[in-house]
């Protein structure tokens, strides 16, 4: 059972790593394009807005995954508490021991939650960078308009 959970976790990590690599490369490419000519700036601005929307959709999807996971974690925590606090429990435990046993039993679920939290934060930071690129483009357009280089 533990091997199956580890495989699922490894698959999640690989998928999220691929996503992070994609966004790192996309942002790097967008930043390099900031030195484009005035005729290409509007197309670049359009690309940045499109990429920003894709990041936003991924944040929403991962957030929904996280929200769907939370009731499962809470339910599992309750079940484990009832198990360790019940008369049929094979262990005589006090409250701190029970807490540690529950934490250990739910470690995989908590780990998945933490991974999603970190990934969502990465996506939010990526969106901030994309916003900054958008501001740079907007400033560049303003400069072109001010200097009549349209």
pLDDT digits (tens, 9 = 90+) for 6-53: 888 899 999 999 999 999 999 999 999 988 888 888 899 999 999 999
The Cα-based distances of 67 to 21, 25, 70, 85, 117 in angstroms read: 25, 29, 5, 28, 11
The pLDDT of 60-81, averaged and rounded, is: 93
Reported confidence tier of residue 149, pLDDT bands at 50, 70, 90? low
pLDDT digits (tens, 9 = 90+) for 105-146: 898 899 999 999 999 999 999 999 999 999 999 998 888 888
DSSP state of 91: S
Question: Do the Cβ atoms of 127 and 30 come closer than 8 Å?
Answer: no
Q: Which residue carries 């690989």 as its tokens?
A: 14
Reported confidence tier of residue 77, pLDDT bands at 50, 70, 90? very high
Geometric angle at alpha carbon 61, from 66 and 102, rounded to 5°: 10
* Total-model pTM: 0.83
pLDDT of residue 118: 96
pLDDT of residue 131: 96
The pLDDT of 95-103, averaged and rounded, is: 86
Q: Can you read off the two tokens belonging to residue 35?
A: 């030195």
């Amino acid at each position: 059972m533990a091997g199956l959970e580890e495989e699922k976790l490894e698959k999640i990590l690989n998928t999220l790593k691929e996503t992070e690599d994609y966004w790192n490369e996309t942002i790097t490419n967008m930043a390099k394009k900031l030195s484009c000519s005035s005729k290409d700036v509007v197309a670049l601005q359009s690309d940045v807005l499109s990429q920003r929307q894709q990041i936003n959709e991924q944040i929403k999807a991962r957030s929904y995954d996280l929200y769907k996971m939370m009731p499962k974690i809470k339910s599992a925590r309750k079940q484990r508490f009832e198990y360790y606090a019940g008369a049929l429990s094979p262990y005589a435990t006090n409250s701190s021991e029970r807490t540690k046993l529950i934490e250990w039993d739910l470690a995989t679920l908590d780990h998945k939650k933490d991974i999603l939290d970190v990934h969502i934060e990465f996506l939010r930071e990526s969106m901030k960078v994309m916003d900054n690129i958008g501001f740079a483009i907007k400033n560049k357009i303003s400069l072109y308009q001010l200097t009549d280089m349209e």
